[in-house]
């Protein structure tokens, strides 16, 4: 039977990978089938009649299309974005403004970059849609980065928080991961700058965790475990320790190291504890990572790092 240009099976695979947050699998599908997606995309851009009355389903459909178009544009194929955003719309102008702001930021012209970004937000103010949602999140993320470079930590935090909120609303899983980590780092800097005990504990825990992660990244799993275990015992032994927010990451790293060292029982124990800490903090990113790691440990694979 000949394959139709609509490619419904490929579309369903892409939508499913995007919907469950499997960014790696999603991007691999986009790269492997880029030409086929380009040919079929126009047919996908029409929302099926059976879901048009379901606002949530329509939003999910539109966001998945935007994610596919974004991935193909990054691969050098702008065709899908041109389907979603015709040349006579405002989107090309906004893309140009965003590119100008990014170039200014790369040249360390952070104030000028932020001025371009604010103008862009004002221009998009009355427009809605998946492209606008995606671009606005990136604009707020870049505003946060610029503010950080300009030593405006509170402003950087507020912009990054808005970027994260928008990514969660649109289902941008990769953006959620990036801005969650950025927001956590900014919160640590704010508290450390306030000179409080909690701030000092957060900064110390974060720096020591980074050291343990660096040892693991270079294959020194035993040394990493020794370092991370001391940190774990110190933080775990003091319930009021501000660094307890990092217990999920600490346990996750210990689980990964034990797995690499051929001790799946210890790997599973620490990864389960990492998952429990993430569930307690409602850390959706950590929950997804450590749930997957437990599955991988069970089948003797290679867990991802959290």
Domains of the chain by range and CATH? 8-84 (no CATH), 91-192 (1.25.40.10), 198-298 (1.25.40.10)
pLDDT band at residue 243 using 50, 70 and 90 as cut-offs = confident
Q: What is the pLDDT of residue 32?
A: 93
195 versus 186: which is more confidently predicted?
A: 186
Euclidean distance between CA atoms 178 and 227, whole angstroms: 26
Q: What is the pLDDT of residue 3?
A: 39
Residue 88 has pLDDT above 70, yes or no: no
pLDDT tens digits, 249-277: 999 999 999 999 999 999 999 999 999 99
Please indicate, yes or no, whether the overall pTM of this predicted structure exceeds 0.85. no
Q: Where is average pLDDT lowest: 35-49, 103-117, 248-262?
A: 35-49
DSSP H helices in 89-220? 91-106, 110-123, 130-149, 153-170, 173-193, 197-217
Q: What is the pLDDT of residue 200?
A: 86
Residue 303 has pLDDT above 70, yes or no: no
Per-residue burial over 127-151, b = 16 or more CB atoms within 10 Å of its CB, e = otherwise:
eeebbbbbbbbbbbbbbbbbbbeee
User: Which residue from 56, 58, 66, 65 is spatially nearest to 134, judged by alpha carbons?
Assistant: 66
pLDDT tens digits, 6-38: 788 999 999 999 888 888 889 999 999 999 999
Residue 304 has pLDDT above 70, yes or no: no
Residue 298 has pLDDT above 50, yes or no: yes
Interacting residues of 156 by C-beta distance below 8 A, sequence separation 6+: 144, 145, 147, 148, 186
Q: Where is average pLDDT lowest: 26-30, 118-122, 123-127, 214-218?
A: 123-127
Euclidean distance between CA atoms 288 and 41, whole angstroms: 29
pLDDT band at residue 2 using 50, 70 and 90 as cut-offs = very low
Sign of the Cα torsion 283, 284, 286, 292 reads: positive
- Residue range 86-95: average pLDDT? 65
Q: What is the pLDDT of residue 191?
A: 79
60 versus 17: which is more confidently predicted?
A: 17
Residue 69 has pLDDT above 70, yes or no: yes
What average pLDDT does the structure give for the chain?
A: 86
Residue 230 has pLDDT above 60, yes or no: yes
Interacting residues of 116 by C-beta distance below 8 A, sequence separation 6+: 97, 98, 100, 101, 104
271 versus 86: which is more confidently predicted?
A: 271
pLDDT band at residue 305 using 50, 70 and 90 as cut-offs = low
Residue 74 has pLDDT above 80, yes or no: yes
């Amino acid at each position: 039977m000949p394959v139709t240009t609509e490619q419904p099976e490929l579309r369903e695979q892409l939508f499913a990978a995007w919907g469950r947050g499997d960014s790696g699998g999603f991007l691999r599908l986009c790269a492997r089938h880029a030409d086929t997606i380009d040919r079929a995309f126009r047919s996908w851009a029409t929302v099926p009649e059976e879901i048009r009355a379901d606002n949530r389903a329509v939003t999910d459909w539109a966001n998945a299309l935007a994610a596919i178009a974004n991935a193909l544009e990054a691969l050098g194929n702008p065709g899908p974005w041109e389907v979603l955003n015709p040349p006579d719309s405002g989107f090309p102008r906004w893309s140009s403004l965003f590119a100008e702001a990014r170039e200014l930021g790369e040249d360390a012209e952070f104030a000028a970059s932020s001025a371009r970004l604010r103008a862009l937000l004002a221009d998009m103010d009355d427009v809605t849609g998946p492209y606008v949602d995606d671009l606005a999140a990136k604009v707020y993320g870049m505003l946060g980065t610029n503010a950080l470079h300009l030593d405006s930590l509170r402003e950087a935090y507020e912009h990054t928080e808005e970027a994260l909120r928008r990514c969660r609303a649109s289902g941008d899983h990769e953006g959620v991961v990036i801005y969650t980590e950025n927001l956590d780092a900014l919160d640590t800097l704010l508290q450390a700058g306030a000179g409080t005990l909690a701030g000092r504990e957060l900064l110390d825990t974060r720096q020591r965790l980074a050291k343990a992660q660096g040892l693991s990244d270079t294959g020194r799993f035993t040394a990493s475990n020794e370092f991370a275990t001391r940190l774990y015992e110190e933080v775990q032994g003091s319930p009021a320790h501000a660094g307890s927010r990092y217990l999920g990451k600490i346990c996750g790293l210990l689980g990964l190291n034990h797995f690499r060292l051929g001790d799946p029982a210890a790997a599973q124990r620490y990864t389960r504890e990492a998952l429990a800490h993430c569930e307690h903090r409602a850390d959706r990113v950590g929950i997804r990572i450590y749930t997957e790691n437990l599955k991988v440990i069970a089948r003797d694979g290679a867990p991802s790092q959290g």
